[in-house]
Amino acid sequence: MIPPRYQNSLEELTRGRSYGIFVDDSGSPGLQSTPANVHPKRKTWVAVVIPPELMPEVLDQIPGALDELRRTTGGTEFHFGDIYAGRGAFRDVDLQVRLGIFEFMARIFSLYQFPVIVQTFDPVTLADIRSRSQGRLPERLPPFDLTEPEDTALFFLLIRLKWYMQSTPTYPTVKARVFIDEGYKKNGVAIQIPTFEPEFADGLICFATSASIPPIQLADFAAFALNRSQLIGGKPKRSSLDNRLLEILSPIAWNYQNIEKRVVSLAAEGPLLTRQTPGNESST
């Protein structure tokens, strides 16, 4: 169910009057097999930016894509962690069918060239930036606790999105509607932050389920693709499935606007990613 307060925002998006920015989180905190190239307690936030001229088509096409997903798998949403692992609604779905879903979504990203913007912090990079700020970075900036990687990464991502909106050709006339997957805050919560006006309409940051605001599922894909590429890329030895997924995801590396990109050979031995740049991420 769509929170009533979001109806006007969705109407704007449907009419192509606003940018749509959809955000989800990533990272694998506590994962025992975390490779050496990533911190096990890192937190990443990923935003997919959809220009106004594409928003009506995206909103029009998503229901059909979900109907096809339901017909072929029984799943009701694109939850890519579940799709990849074959769990939940996708438990009995053939691997090739599940990989086909990744191919479909990768084609969508390649076709529409959705910009993807990311921000990562872990305890080490957070301590580094706090040290270099020489006390200018406060501990709290409500609702953000800037002593925590999760909050700091989200805040810095929103700053990056603010800068992105300032670079758009229609700024400041056309603003963005920002939706973040629930979890950090509950579904239906909307926080007004004057810092993000006029780039974000009404200075609002809105939290919702991916069922009520389906384009959040695009952010789920972008977040999963980044995280899984990093985990696979850091492995000393990759399986054939690992390499197949990297092949599927490689074309969308160029959608990611603010991360280091590397051209690598999947036939190479050993880790593909061996170093992490503080505050940033690498993609294959």
pLDDT in tens, 118-128: 999 999 999 99
pLDDT at residue 30 tops 60: no
pLDDT at 228 exceeding the cut of 70: yes
Q: Say whether 263 sits in a helix, a strand or coil.
A: coil
DSSP 185-240: S-TT-EEE-GGGTTTEEEEEEEEE-TTTSTTHHHHHHHHHHHHHHHHHHT-SS--H
Say whether pLDDT at 152 is over 90.
yes
pLDDT of residue 281: 42
Q: How high is the pLDDT of residue 95?
A: 97
E strands, 122-228, in order: 140-141, 144-145, 176-181, 190-192, 200-208
